[in-house]
Amino acid sequence: MSELAAKISALMDSTVREETPLAGGSVADVRRIVLADGRELVAKRGAGLVVEARMLRYLAAQSSVPVPAVHHADADLLLMDYIPSGDPITDSVQEHAAQILASLHGITAPMFGLEFDTAIGGLTQPNARNRSWRAFFRDRRLLYMAEEARSADRLPLDLYTRIQKLAEHLDKWIGEDAEPTLIHGDLWGGNLLARGGKLVGLVDPAISYSDPEIELAFTTLFGTFSKAFFVRYDALRPIAPGFFEERRDLYNLYPLLVHVRLFGGSYVGDVETIVWRFGY
């Protein structure tokens, strides 16, 4: 029996019968575990596991978003329910996801941020609260992750300086009328679990109370959602003019900078394209 299996067996009071690697863990080791008593779990090892468990429990307590129940979390291991899935993200799934996210985005708070820092891709995501969305996005998302990427020597100094200049003029595109809204924060295809034409699970959250447009923007970055999602979502929560034309690209600088910090490579060019588009 492996060291992991022995630990899980002791925690769950049942012997591990099967242990199978799962796809999708780009910054972590993720495995499907079948216990002798028939229970099926996901075991995850990587960075930020305690924070991830706290985020999943927060979503479960505050919303109707389908998330796996957490059974154990420490610095080395996260154990949660396995959710059977694996179906493609069809139009039907997208429409169901739109309903779930519209409901999630109806949960509000007095300020942007959260009472604890969260994580995205294993990286710290600071959430010190602020009443200004523009200031929160500038300081806790755009400039923070640019600095992280620069410190890791993955973001060229010239581009870092141009991002700083762009951040000084966000008022050209971002107003102050957004309401602090609970978001999942990391909506790409690998974090969506689908089965039978429905969205049956959302995993790997990066929660905060933010402008929900930053969530909608991320769903377009890697082609997670398309027209079926946005037609349904817009019918439930109308999307303000200018989102697709301008703010979507501006908000996608944040997840792109996360990818620069984690992986470097071609993501640097994607960031530069957007910064150049906005005149910097």
Q: What is the mean pLDDT of each run of 10 residues along the chain (280 residues)?
A: 90 95 76 96 93 98 97 96 96 98 98 97 96 98 98 97 98 96 95 97 97 97 94 98 97 98 95 98
Closest CA to 71 of 44, 98, 48, 105: 44
pLDDT at 247: 98
With a CB cutoff of 8 Å and minimum separation 6, the contacts of 123 are 47, 48, 145, 148, 258, 261, 262
Tokens found for residue 149: 């990427």
Closest CA to 212 of 120, 121, 109, 79: 109
pLDDT at 24: 59
181 within 8 A of 84, measured Cβ to Cβ: no
Strand order in the sheet with 78-81: 16-21, 28-35, 40-46, 78-81, 70-73
Class of domain 3-81: alpha beta
pLDDT at 25: 55
The Cα–Cα gap between 26 and 30 comes to 9
Burial of 107 (0-12, 13-18, 19+ CB in 10 A): middle
In CATH terms, the fold of domain 91-277 is: Aminoglycoside 3'-phosphotransferase; Chain: A, domain 2 (3.90.1200)
pLDDT at 23: 76
Catalytic residue positions, numbered:
186
pLDDT at 33: 97
The Cα–Cα gap between 55 and 127 comes to 13
Domain with CATH 3.30.200.20 in the chain: 3-81
pLDDT at 46: 87
pLDDT at 73: 97
Measured in whole angstroms, how far is the alpha carbon of residue 176 from the centre of its chain?
A: 23
pLDDT at 259: 97
pLDDT at 102: 98
The Cα–Cα gap between 173 and 227 comes to 24
Domain with CATH 3.90.1200.10 in the chain: 91-277
Tokens found for residue 216: 């909608």
pLDDT at 101: 98
Tokens found for residue 65: 């978003």
Whole-model pTM?
A: 0.95
CA angle 191, 90, 181 (to 5 degrees): 50
pLDDT at 26: 59
DSSP state of 112: B
pLDDT at 162: 98
Burial of 43 (0-12, 13-18, 19+ CB in 10 A): buried
